[in-house]
Structure 1
């Protein structure tokens, strides 16, 4: 946009104000500055480039050499108004993006495709959702969103807070974005953070499904006391299957593990021993290191479990039954969380 293309009346009485200042030697009053600031705001709203606006303001001072102090102040106020309008526009866009993400994650379909196009998203594609728990500072949202957009572009990343989780929506064709999101969470969240990653699904409904999978992965990781920072829904598919028939899994847990409730010292040390054995692929020495015990103590506990339950992790079939029962116990909060 050239000077001649700028609205002729935009600067209003700018030259007249400068002329009065040149004649009196005084700076403009507050009303004049407020009017000038409003001009800067209006110029930004009209899309007038800042360079063109400043050039026009300087051109209005031609021949008014004594107006330099006033010119300097008025140009500064013009820029202030312009920057305020730009900041307001940015904040409005950010608010619109976050409202869109919130509607997207809740499955509100009203004008979703149209709004997605505004943000450069192609909703016919497959998307992956990652969700991080453990955020305590809301400023992390702005910083992480800014860093991700700088690297991948605003059309490839959507970031928002939902259900106390920091959520990132990204195309399935851009796996590096999930890794980058995790990197920023690791660097900015306090200890105890964890990231859940849903599977890739197509379309707006797929985003909702992936988000629910990511959130459920975090819940399962907590229930199972997993020691990993990043949990993928694809790695935990067996657990939703187990939970679909609660009565069956409760019956399995009760039948297999109830004898442990009467053990001296309680059932918890024995469950922890089984979990360590399963995590160590049956290696008792590795399990002992996990538990901070001697190998002999682990062997003794496993023998107690075999005597009490009749099941041994050394037998492949019995190991599967035991491991499924222990997983079910953790998922359902056995024994306190059981209905019978």
Structure 2
């Protein structure tokens, strides 16, 4: 919106006075709606528009003094007519204001989402992109971090509140938040401390649940770095979903091993089938043993904690681990063999193995 106009005098005061003096009904409602839209375009605050209508109402009543000998009933009737006209004008003016404000917000959301898409894909003309970036306080040559959150059901209104809260916390131009598809994407200035924790707090406040997950890409410089940071954050969420990681906040820097594992898909497939393939011959298939290994590694090799997590007895866990050793030749309790087994288990989850 443009710079705000003075609401108490000038065109707004005259227009509000004209609404009450002119014809009523549909004519007044249409004129009031146009006035409300004009006020929104001029940057007038809604409360100022309401105040202007009420001021005009008071002025209209003051200027229409009762005639000599007018009975009290006549005064009351004129007052009721004026209040009804003011209510009619005010309701239509607020509707017009809100309609124009929503249209402006939708246009702003569309432009912002389009800019973020162009920014993160690099499809737009660099000169045009730099000009648009300047409007949002983004310097394309600087370092930035991209955060991506998946929060089911997060609305545009909630995204607006998150964006405003981050701007208030870290300053205008240091963050830019929008919905991109089903993901909330936040671009932050590189090195901005506390951004992940603050965004997580806001997501929790908006959703009221822990049914969301946030990934933080690494900080990179330049236009290509923005796309890289976005890819890292989104890949981190994808890997977390496959691996069953439930931590609400994940850092791409902590999960760099998974892109490395998947970079050579043939090699990781060979590792999985070579090390874990024999488990498919066990009664019940490989899955129960993979689940046991996952729980065992998550529990830092503690048999009791593994049994508790799997709702099994310690004896049953020990039996399964021994059976894994017999079938594969690798024992998860042996330090020199643990890494190979754990890498193979992670690879199996990334590959959704066994099919």
Normalization by structure 2: what TM-score? 0.77
Whether 1:132 and 2:149 are equivalent positions in the alignment is yes
Question: How far apart are residue 331 of structure 1 and its match?
Answer: 1.0
8 Å contact kept, 1:116–1:123: yes
In structure 2, how many angstroms separate the alpha carbons of the residues matched to 1:2 and 1:174? 38
Among 155, 165, 168, the residue aligned to 2:186: 168
More displaced, 189-198 or 164-173?
189-198
In structure 2, how many angstroms separate the alpha carbons of the residues matched to 1:38 and 1:196? 45
In structure 1, how many angstroms separate the alpha carbons of the residues matched to 2:116 and 2:122? 10
Map 1:16-35 onto structure 2 (within 5 A): 28-35=24-31
Map 1:35-184 onto structure 2 (within 5 A): 35-46=31-42, 54=52, 64-65=63-64, 69=82, 72=86, 76=90, 81-82=96-97, 84-110=99-125, 111-138=128-155, 140-184=158-202
- SS at the partner of 1:231? strand
Question: How far apart are residue 235 of structure 1 and its match?
Answer: 0.9
8 Å contact kept, 2:20–2:57: no
Aligned length: 328
8 Å contact kept, 1:57–1:75: no
Which residue does the alignment assign to 1:221? 240
> Which runs of 5 or more residues in structure 1 are unaligned?
22-26
Map 1:203-282 onto structure 2 (within 5 A): 203-282=222-301
> Which runs of 5 or more residues in structure 2 are unaligned?
66-77
Q: Deviations over 1:225-261 (max 9, x none)?
A: 2232222211110111111111111111111111111
In structure 2, how many angstroms separate the alpha carbons of the residues matched to 1:214 and 1:269? 31
Question: How far apart are residue 190 of structure 1 and its match?
Answer: 5.3
8 Å contact kept, 2:286–2:354: no
In structure 2, how many angstroms separate the alpha carbons of the residues matched to 1:165 and 1:3? 40
In structure 1, how many angstroms separate the alpha carbons of the residues matched to 2:267 and 2:168? 50
More displaced, 211-220 or 76-85?
76-85
